[in-house]
Amino acid sequence: MCLSGLALPGGSCGGELVPRHQTAWVIRMRWKWGRWEHGPMSVRSAGSSRPGSEDLSRLAELASEAGNQVARQHVVSQVLLRQFATPVRHASGLQVQPYDLLYPERHCRTKPTRAVGWIKDFVPYASASLEALWAEVEQKLPPVFHAVPQGTALGDPHALAVLRDLIALHYVRSQHYRDTFHRIFKEAHAEQRRWLLAEGQQLLRAATLQRTGLDTPGRQALAVRADELLSTMVESYGNGSLLRVRIEDSFRTAREWVAGVGLEILQAEEGEFLIGDNPAMTLRTEDEQLIYGMALGDAHTAVLPLGPRHTLALGAADGAGSVPRAWVDRMNVLQVKTARRRVFTRPGSPLRRFIGQLIPQWQADQSATRLSP
């Protein structure tokens, strides 16, 4: 279902925005050929076609690149932020207007796109080659962005493919994805360890006996063996190499998935769009509620602002259309609600008051998240 056809719950701009945690990884262990298959290859992106053993191969390939690190890693592409940038008096180059949701009392001056939308060591392992992968998409965007307001992008298969890649890139290279990765890994690791010491206890004993010739009496000895079994996976998680492999593979998977669905280029009839620091979001409606943050394959659509006047949305077929002011406001609420700290507008935008009205609820949501178990 496309954005323009997604039923708006609760009237023109009513209803409730509800977060939905996605389960993006599973840990699998199996007994094969007299040994346990385990380690980083057991952690896979849901829906990925790559066998887990390829994770180990990729980790080995990246070992020589471990120190090739880019510190400033943009989670919002500069080329995308430039669609919101304009010249400003007494400042050089194009500027965007940032808003700090955590400290709204601090007046933020306009800034160049290179100065915002980045996180230090977002991926802390071998990120230089990952940045090169993102650049393959980003360097194709300037002529495509020029074609969007001209109305010619829809008839250009290459332009549509690049815009689809842009959605996949921001869906995966996001704080939402990274947070989900950490949460699911910790949950899955704890569950795997629990299983080894409970239902899988006999298999763990048999594996230890076959490998070492020694029995494993007592729960403490079993716990030591379970931790040894999971140690490679834990080490790869701890040094960031597992995130590096997963984010690369998940981008390729998301890219393939997005290539098979329609893309809508939507224009605001009134008002203008803003963009947050977590800009690509998945949406679906359930029981008169607008749910966000689910896995890509479970969504009715995924949206990404493309500038003050345009937004992208996945749907059943390629198309162009317009959305009313209520939908523009709704998408702006979503951008603020899902932002991790900052949102951005064009300089001189009338959205300052709109953003200010949403900040107390954003801060309350952040406090509730920190207090939740």
The torsion angle over the Cα atoms of residues 237, 242, 243 and 247, rounded to 10 degrees, is -160
* Closest by CA position to 356, among listed 81, 76, 105, 19: 105
Q: Rounded to whole angstroms, how far apart are CA atoms 147 and 141?
A: 10
Q: Rounded to whole angstroms, how far apart are CA atoms 270 and 322?
A: 9
Q: Rounded to whole angstroms, how far apart are CA atoms 62 and 157?
A: 34
Calculate the alpha carbon distances from 56 to 197, 240, 252, 298 in Å: 25, 14, 17, 28
Domain-wise residue ranges, the chain: 17-371
Q: Rounded to whole angstroms, how far apart are CA atoms 314 and 259?
A: 10
Quote the pTM value.
0.85
- CB-CB neighbours of 257 under 10 Å: 17
Per-residue pLDDT of the chain (373 residues; tens, 9 = 90+): 445 444 333 333 334 555 554 433 333 333 332 333 333 223 233 333 333 567 788 999 999 999 999 999 999 999 999 999 999 988 889 999 999 999 998 888 999 999 999 999 999 999 999 999 999 999 999 999 999 999 999 999 999 999 999 999 999 999 999 999 999 999 999 999 999 999 988 888 888 887 777 777 778 888 988 898 888 889 999 999 999 999 999 999 999 999 999 999 999 999 999 999 999 999 998 887 888 988 888 999 999 999 999 999 999 899 999 999 999 999 999 999 999 999 999 999 999 999 999 999 999 998 887 655 5
Calculate the alpha carbon distances from 236 to 129, 180, 357 in Å: 18, 17, 43
pLDDT given at position 209 = 83
Q: Which residues pair with 109 in a beta bridge?
A: none
Q: Which two tokens stand for residue 199?
A: 């239902």
Q: Rounded to whole angstroms, how far apart are CA atoms 261 and 271?
A: 28
Residue 49, H or E segment: none
Q: Which two tokens stand for residue 30?
A: 């199996």
